[in-house]
Amino acid sequence: MQEHIDRPTLILNAAQSLVQTQGYNAFSYADIAARVGIRKASIHYHYPSKSDLGKALIVRYRTRFRQDLTLIKQERCNAFHKLERYVGLYSTVLQNEHHMCLCGMFAAEMETLPQAMKEEVQGFFAEHVAWLTAVLEEGLRTKTVTYNGSAEAEAQSLLAGLEGAMLVGRSYATASWFEAAAHQMLVRLQASPS
Amino acid sequence: MQEHIDRPTLILNAAQSLVQTQGYNAFSYADIAARVGIRKASIHYHYPSKSDLGKALIVRYRTRFRQDLTLIKQERCNAFHKLERYVGLYSTVLQNEHHMCLCGMFAAEMETLPQAMKEEVQGFFAEHVAWLTAVLEEGLRTKTVTYNGSAEAEAQSLLAGLEGAMLVGRSYATASWFEAAAHQMLVRLQASPS
DNA sequence: GTCTATAAGATGATAGAC
DNA sequence: GTCTATCATCTTATAGAC
């Protein structure tokens, strides 16, 4: 049942895992080569420079996340449940070998990244804030979500909370740190049934 | 009026700024040497290995932050205002050349750090959660702060929100990203006068 | 497409003169 | 304490054989 996975994908998989655990500046082509079982030169054939690889990493990550967001949006469930599902996406990332959000990690290293990568990272966050803002507005209308102030500010606050909870929670061995903080954010947003 | 600042301090200052903007793995002794105007070997005299330097960085950062927390705690103001002051500390760090929280940056790179540094980073966060938990409990008693659930979970959530708001906000050029998210967190915690 | 070989430069770190 | 000089190793990247 073992699927054939092409080289470029295997390289991206290894690279993504390395970025999410150690950061973009902390891994080398040698690390990927060791994990995939090929030579460094072969990686350069598929991704000539490290920034090409980095760019491809974010593009794929954004595409996958965009699909998840679209799926959640289409689900027949209320806005609060959509937020729960959204938080679940982050929980899943973290539970997978204590991975940090790829773009959260890139955000930390932002100043050292080539321009093409910076723009992708900014696009990721802008996209998520826009998605969250829409869901929060829907939640207010349908009275399944509660908050004060603008939906956009609340979206920024929630996104910040989740990225920060991954960041800090990852520095501890216990997985519960993230879960406690994230649960607190969700409960706060839940409208009490009237 | 120019004070004499000793070499070890000048080295720490340069190193701290480099970590807060680029990360621990992205700067080298050569970068510090260029900024301070000395040679690489001189840095090794004061801090033999990079991990010695890293450790000294966190110890100083924790000490300074601890002094700030003690000062805020002693102020004659209500618990909500203490939280405002706490948020102000992060705002100040970020406004200083878009610096990320030193320990937030280290948290991202956690897996690549030597054990001695890891423990310092964990200690930093544990200390802040403990301080926030106490203030949040006081706020609930004195009715200046409002939240549901345990004070500790709320403390984790706030700390995560602030670290995350710095992380994401820093990836944009605009300073307002952090301010909007942080303001949202504060307003949410403020008890309405009865 | 993948390999070996190699380049050119950066990295953390040390020895020893001053 | 700071310097020059040097080290071994690692880094991204390329040339060319297979």
pLDDT higher than 70, residue A2: no
- Please state which of the ranges A19-28, A92-101, B89-98, B173-182 shows the lowest mean pLDDT: B173-182
Asked whether the CA dihedral B164, A79, A175, A122 is positive or negative, the reply is: negative
pTM, full prediction: 0.98
Q: What is the pLDDT of residues B133-180, one digit of tens each?
A: 999 999 999 999 999 999 999 999 999 999 999 999 999 988 899 999
* Local structure of A145: helix, strand or coil: strand
CB spacing of A107 vs B25 below 8 angstroms: no
List of chain A residues whose C-beta atoms are within 8 Å of the C-beta of residue B164: 104, 159-165, 167
Which residue is it, tokens 């995560």? B160
Query: Are the beta carbons of A97 and A17 closer than 8 angstroms?
Result: yes
- Average pLDDT, integer, range A5-25: 98
Distance between CA atoms of B161 and A167, rounded to whole angstroms? 10
Residues B178, B109, A162: CA angle, nearest 5 degrees: 40
Q: Which of residues 42-81 of A touch strand C (CB under 7 A)?
A: 42, 45-46
* CA of A75 vs chain B CAs: smallest distance (Å): 28
DSSP class of A48: S
> What backbone torsions phi and psi does residue B147 show, to the nearest 5 degrees?
-170, 160
Query: Are the beta carbons of B171 and A122 closer than 8 angstroms?
Result: yes
Residue B190's beta-bridge partner residues? B145
